[in-house]
């Protein structure tokens, strides 16, 4: 089970890198829109996060409040990315909210023990 958890964690980090890296690439390019890397990153983060939250660690599971917080953040990010993915241009505030929520979600994972 530990091997499965590590593979899921690795994929989860890849999703984070795609989501944050894709958004930084858009900010640098000057044309703010949702790119495929951001969409795939959001999908990977959501799916692997659900897999990581499964109670398979023999009593070493994260707190339910942390899991719910991360799920809500991941769903918000996914919805914000998915429904604006076909727009030619995205509002700067909307885009920065995606970046901010992504960073907050990572902070919850790291700092909430």
Q: What percent of the chain has pLDDT over 70?
A: 96
Confidence band, pLDDT 50/70/90 cuts, at residue 62? confident
Q: What percent of the chain has pLDDT over 90?
A: 81
pTM above 0.75, yes or no: yes
pLDDT tens, position by position, 4-51? 889 999 999 999 999 999 999 999 998 899 999 999 999 999 999 999
- What are the CA-CA distances from residue 96 to residues 27, 69, 76, 103, 112 (Å)? 9, 20, 13, 11, 23
Indicate the length of the chain as a whole number: 113
Question: Where in the chain are the domains?
Answer: 1-111
């Amino acid at each position: 089970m530990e091997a499965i958890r590590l593979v899921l964690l690795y994929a989860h980090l890849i999703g984070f890198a795609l989501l944050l890296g894709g958004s930084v690439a858009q900010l640098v390019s000057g044309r703010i829109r949702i790119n495929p890397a951001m969409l795939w990153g959001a999908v990977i983060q959501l799916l692997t996060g659900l897999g990581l939250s499964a109670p398979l660690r023999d009593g070493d599971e994260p707190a339910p409040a942390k899991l719910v917080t991360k799920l809500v953040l991941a769903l918000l990010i996914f919805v914000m990315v998915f429904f604006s993915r076909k727009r030619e241009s995205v509002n700067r505030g909307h885009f920065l909210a995606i970046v901010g929520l992504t960073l907050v979600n990572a902070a919850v994972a790291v700092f909430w023990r």
